[in-house]
Amino acid sequence: MSLLSLNNVEVAYDRVFLAIKGVSLEVGEGAMVALLGANGAGKSTTLKTVSGLLAPERGEVRRGQVTFRGKDLLPLSPPERVAMGLVHVLEGRRVFGHLTPDDNLLAAYPGRGAQSSFESLRDQAYAYFPRLAERSRSKAGYLSGGEQQMLAIARALMTEPRLLMLDEPSLGLAPVLVKEIFSIIRTINREQGMSVLLVEQNARAALDIVEHAYLLENGSVVMSGSAADLKQNPDVQEFYLGGG
């Protein structure tokens, strides 16, 4: 069953520039899906359209529908979308550098209306990311880039999402860390049935963990398919996987 669905969505910046031009895509319940493409292809804009975080005054949805759990998302505010079970980890790991990981997690915990206690969610997040538990009392600003990315994901888990949207979690990280973080994301998906929409320029790493992917070029989906099929595709190999 489809959890998130975009149908022919068009988004313009500053009234004239079309950043996405009729994008349609689906994320099924419990699925892991990647949105791949080069710099400026429209990946972040697509995620922001879903979470409601398009630049105010500049970005607008011109056309199309976005539904989540069968409901029209577009009239809802970003917090209402979070309350429905949708969370967006922005590019660039924006953690609170002056707070400890514990306090970063607490700041993300919704409190009233939450299904689980803060302590149980925090302990679960630390079980997925044991490195964070070790650093739980140092300021987040002192954590490594990889640890900050882990914290950004752990923070998103505090809202108990049904859909976790991640924007470029691999950015600037060493390959071994990308592997570690992607494998944890996969484990969370398997154990909790949480759907994942992963935006990546690192197509190789992404296609190793997702089941399905969409390729975005200049604001349009130019190809989509199973990860296995895309990995075999000669164009994908040449342009996205660096020649195989």
Least separation in angstroms between residue 174's CB and ligand ATP is 19
Comparing CB distances to ligand ATP, the nearer of 37 and 101 is 37
CB of 21 to ligand ATP, least distance (A): 11
Where does this chain bind ligand ATP (CB under 6 A)?
Answer: 13-14, 17, 19, 37, 39-45, 55, 58-59, 201
Residue that has been written with the tokens 């990946």 in this structure: 43
Helix, strand or coil, per DSSP, at residue 23:
strand
**Please, which residue, 13 or 118, has the CB nearer to ligand ATP?**
13
**Can you tell me whether residue 214 is helix, strand or coil?**
strand
Alpha helices (H) in the chain, listed in sequence order: 43-51, 78-83, 101-108, 118-128, 130-134, 145-157, 175-192, 203-209, 227-232, 234-239
131 burial via Cβ count (<10 Å: 0-12, 13-18, 19+): middle
Q: How far is the CB of 58 from ligand ATP (least distance, A)?
A: 5
State which residue, 45 or 51, has the beta carbon closest to ligand ATP: 45
What gap in Å lies between CA 187 and CA 59, rounded to an integer?
Answer: 35
CA atoms of 27 and 151, how far apart (whole Å):
24
Nearer Cβ to ligand ATP, position 43 or 212? 43
The CB-of-50 to ligand ATP minimum distance in angstroms stands at 12
Nearer to ligand ATP, 55 or 107 (CB): 55
**232 CB neighbour count, 10 Å cutoff:** 12
| Minimum gap (Å) between residue 127 Cβ and ligand ATP | 31
